[in-house]
Structure 1
């Protein structure tokens, strides 16, 4: 049995660790709130672009884009993978890296041998370097400070490579943020793009109303939200006949790249919010475990202390009887 001094030292150590995890949980909660605000600020632009593109595609069945056209043979694949720059966020990074390796193995079985990864986050950049997979650059700063302009540059580089035949397919791998307690690991095709009206806006199912992550809180939110499901806005033509100037191809060349830029930026915001939510959950779990361990150690300390007092009393009483 451990001595009283050892147990007391352990209690002090666990208590110190608990203070750290509790503080990190509060910091992650604050960052999650800012990440949710960033998504809310992006939603009006996303909704309006979706409405314009849906109406245009429904009213103009002949509308086509070069980014919809699949290449006859897939030989070169680009992956945009989102992770974090730091640890202590549960299985957030490991799940992304496992899916990335799984996707690469699937393509290798199909005969694809050339890959290039756009690593957004230090963890995926380190993994790519370890696997000796070609990297498209350094995007570590984006994982900490999301930037729409930087995402547009990534999107432009990918679209130019796709049109030039340097890349045959592009996929995004990230965590889709649904709520503070739910982040869905997602594999999404970026190019060739799916412009069907059913697919546009299908990922907009986020709950940005709460930062609570306890089981009871999540159950309450699920029950409350069951009667208020988001209804997809129907794609109704604004006009039976569009007058397109200067021409249909030019308009599509302007609209579709904006949608592609938004996909890269939205995935980054989702990943950023998911990281903070995962870290908040991990630190909350660590704090709860520390509380439970402190209770056990306090009980053990009190039992050991009582046993020591009882032993001393027995020694005193025994000495008195002998005298």
Structure 2
């Protein structure tokens, strides 16, 4: 049975831990609101950019398919997986889910026939897991998860595009945690290269959600005039779209990380408060029992 001194020391320790978890929750909340605001603004920009891409696709699908970044390679020999995680821990199952999705992705690519699968980690935790698993790893971007910037995302995307157009890479996949809600981050895998332009229906989800009227039949499509020509527009727009997509995924992963850490610290804070209440109750009972026993000894001695 623990003594009063030991219980008092345990209470002090739990109170100290409670202060730490509360502070970490506040820091994660501040970071979450800042990154989430940027991500939401970028999502609207990306949606409108998707409409432009859909218009190009409708203009001449053959030109789009002939783009070096959109044309799939006939023989798949080498694939690259860009995997996102956090640099630190204390964020629940965030990193474990990313590592598990990375394992599934690498396994699926090998089953497709890719003899070489290289992992490009963005974040310390996923980099450590990739090295431990024995994957071929490129560590050039492993320390870019802490502070997300468009410059870093654009550099990463450009390196991948250069490798794909040169034929050094035949497939590029992204693995990350998608921010679905505060308590739900979804492990996600998507193909980055070859690039896929959205269809007009996918790009205009906002219009598709509106009630249809007889004045807007579905078979009517706008007749765009391209200046300069479609091929030049595609040559500029597609790389830019891919750079923006990489930035969007980086922000999405960072938002999911801060949300997961905030929820984890809130849970830890609640548990610490509950434990503190139980320890305080036990301490008071033991102290009351000690006083009662001392009074009984004094009464018996008289």
What is the TM-score with the length of structure 2 in the denominator? 0.88
Kindly report which structure 2 residues correspond to 1:1-323, keeping only aligned pairs within 5 A, or say none.
Answer: 1-64=1-64, 65-197=67-199, 232-234=206-208, 239-240=222-223, 242-320=224-302
- Counterparts of 1:134 and 1:14 in 2: how far apart (Å)? 43
Aligned length in residues: 291
Contact 1:80 1:170 in 2 (8 A): yes
1:238 Cα deviation (Å)? 6.9
Contact 1:58 1:237 in 2 (8 A): no
- Counterparts of 1:194 and 1:51 in 2: how far apart (Å)? 13
- Counterparts of 2:100 and 2:201 in 1: how far apart (Å)? 26
- Structure 2 unaligned spans of 5+: 209-217
Closer, same or farther: CA 86–9 of 1 in aligned 2, 3 Å = same
Contact 1:118 1:136 in 2 (8 A): yes
Contact 2:76 2:170 in 1 (8 A): yes
- Counterparts of 1:154 and 1:255 in 2: how far apart (Å)? 17
Contact 1:169 1:192 in 2 (8 A): yes
- Counterparts of 2:140 and 2:179 in 1: how far apart (Å)? 24
- Counterparts of 2:230 and 2:219 in 1: how far apart (Å)? 19
Alignment partner, residue 209 of structure 1: none
Q: What SS does the corresponding residue of 2:189 show, helix, strand or coil? A: strand
CA deviations on 1:256-311 (whole Å, 9 max, x unpaired) are 11111111111100011111111101100000000010111111111111221221
1:90 Cα deviation (Å)? 0.8
Q: What is the RMSD computed on CA atoms of the aligned residues?
A: 2.3
- Counterparts of 1:139 and 1:67 in 2: how far apart (Å)? 22
- Counterparts of 2:150 and 2:202 in 1: how far apart (Å)? 20
1:157 Cα deviation (Å)? 1.4
1:117 Cα deviation (Å)? 1.7
Contact 1:119 1:139 in 2 (8 A): yes
1:151 Cα deviation (Å)? 1.3
Q: What SS does the corresponding residue of 1:85 show, helix, strand or coil? A: coil
- Counterparts of 2:14 and 2:296 in 1: how far apart (Å)? 33
- Counterparts of 1:297 and 1:84 in 2: how far apart (Å)? 34
